[in-house]
Amino acid sequence: MAASEKEKSDISQEMLTRRGFCAGIVAAAASGAYLADMPAWANEPKKTSITRKVKLGVVGCGGRGAWIAKLFKEHGGYELHAVADYFQHVADKCGNALGVDKTRRFSGLSGYKKLIESGVEAVALETPVYFFPEHARAAVEAGLHVYMAKPVAVDVPGCLTILAAGNKATKNKQVFLVDYQIPTDPTNIKVVQAIHTKAIGPVAQVATVGICRGFSDPPKTRNIESRLQSLIWTNDIALGCDYIGNFDIHALDAALWAIGQRPVAASGGARVSRPDPHGDSHDVCSVIFEYENGVVHNHFGQGLKNNCDGQLSCRVYGQTANALINYWGKAYVRGGSGHCVGTVDNLYLAGAKRNIATFYHNVIKDSCANDTVQRSVDGALTAILGREAAERHCRLTMDHILNENKRLQVDLSGLKS
């Protein structure tokens, strides 16, 4: 979830086996080969006149899920056809607000399957991150368009699942869009265009910051049911990808956008510093990312209720000028030939609206390049690399974590199916 305070695929028989496919992706990722042609990173908002309603199902109807479902309805190009949430009362509350028939409000861990079978043509995924890869894979397998929140996965296997699902969606002419807001902002787009045209000179150093007030972390109960609500799951690495993956990732995404490549290594440290913690997510981290082109990238993350102002920013220092990509407040290029300044206004809402409009445009126009998939996988892998290096207090390479291919497990025993 963005700024909370202000707020893989079964392969067909004629193709490779699932294991073979994974191995191929890992080999390509480790060599950097599949990053040879970087897609356009800026998501210029796309709009089209409303010619028909897209039947949409929303999976995950808690705070952000219900909020974004309302934005889909307000857009006018969507019919809110079905909802699903682990908790029936949450699905019902959202369904009531959206006018969804009671027969199409599903709950339990398998609720998403019933939603997929309910007649929708697109799904919006807003659940705890751990469930994203399976839900996205199932939706693409069913021929649906996919709109999903970030981060796309909590581990490397999950990232590979998303990458495979996104590639399959593109092949099958299905839309797959990941909702990052920073790259939709007009000022941020101008700033990054200036960086890419070397208006600040060659990039030397990048500094990203992710500061939030943390998330409620109550005592655990007999199973994880109590963790699947109110963003409590962000405190559990296997459920939410750690603070660096769930919150800071917006700033990391901006860094990758500006630098134009994924890091090759990282080192750092992290700790759990909040009072009376019950989850294992690190609320303090400091990471240095290394890039093939030599750029030095320092990242600072903090999620504590200590009266610090919230930040989600990426500062880019060139040889002749510097730039700021931001989630709120000023964004600019200072000095050099690309000097510009502007205000990033209400991005949590405005960015989501732009992405919802772009998703509708892409569905209606059969525009299935799905450029956000690769970027989002790279961003998640960057967060995972940083998380693992900081937790282990060592230097790790991207090749290492890809080949390690560590899967995080969540105990789902005792939960409603």
Sign of CA dihedral 304, 409, 106, 141: positive
- Tell me the pLDDT band of 44, cut-offs 50, 70 and 90: low
Q: With 50 as the cut, is the pLDDT of residue 337 above it?
A: yes
107 and 193 co-located in one domain: no
The pTM (predicted TM-score) of the whole model is 0.91
Please report the pLDDT score of residue 42 as a whole number. Answer: 54
- For residue 73, what is the domain's CATH number? 3.40.50.720
Mean per-residue pLDDT, 73-83: 97
Decide which of 182, 206, 241 is a domain's last residue. Answer: 182
Q: With 50 as the cut, is the pLDDT of residue 21 above it?
A: no
Q: With 90 as the cut, is the pLDDT of residue 36 above it?
A: no
Q: Is residue 334 part of a domain?
A: yes
- Tell me the pLDDT band of 338, cut-offs 50, 70 and 90: confident
Domain extent, residue 234, equals: 183-348+374-398
Give the number of domains in the chain.
Answer: 2
Neighbours of 202 (CB within 10 A): 11
Q: With 50 as the cut, is the pLDDT of residue 29 above it?
A: no
pLDDT digits (tens, 9 = 90+) for 308-317: 999 999 999 9
260 and 378 co-located in one domain: yes
pLDDT digits (tens, 9 = 90+) for 191-208: 999 999 999 999 999 999
Q: Is residue 158 part of a domain?
A: yes
CB 211 within 8 A of CB 309: yes
241 and 173 co-located in one domain: no
226 and 283 co-located in one domain: yes
pLDDT digits (tens, 9 = 90+) for 350-404: 999 999 999 999 999 999 999 999 999 999 999 999 999 999 999 999 999 999 9
145 and 197 co-located in one domain: no
Neighbours of 387 (CB within 10 A): 29
Decide which of 182, 203, 231 is a domain's last residue. Answer: 182
Mean per-residue pLDDT, 236-262: 97
Q: Is residue 367 part of a domain?
A: no
Q: Is residue 368 part of a domain?
A: no
123 and 263 co-located in one domain: no
Q: How far apart are CA 13 and CA 10, in angstroms?
A: 9
- For residue 337, what is the domain's CATH number? 3.30.360.10
Mean per-residue pLDDT, 27-50: 53
Q: Is residue 363 part of a domain?
A: no
Decide which of 147, 182, 217 is a domain's last residue. Answer: 182
225 and 163 co-located in one domain: no
Q: In what order do the strands lie in the sheet with 176-178?
A: 105-107, 78-85, 54-59, 122-125, 145-148, 176-178
Q: Is residue 356 part of a domain?
A: no
Average pLDDT in the chain = 91
28 and 48 co-located in one domain: yes
Q: Is residue 111 part of a domain?
A: yes
170 and 190 co-located in one domain: no
| Count of residues in the chain | 417
162 and 210 co-located in one domain: no
Instruction: Determine what percent of the chain is predicted with pLDDT higher than 70.
Output: 89
Least confident of 35-39, 163-167, 388-392, 399-403: 35-39
pLDDT digits (tens, 9 = 90+) for 86-115: 999 999 999 999 999 999 999 999 999 999
**φ, ψ (nearest 5 deg) of residue 74:** -65, -25
204 and 275 co-located in one domain: yes
**Which among 368, 329, 369 has a CA at the least distance from the CA of 345?**
329
What end-to-end distance do the CA atoms of the chain give, in Å? 25
254 and 273 co-located in one domain: yes
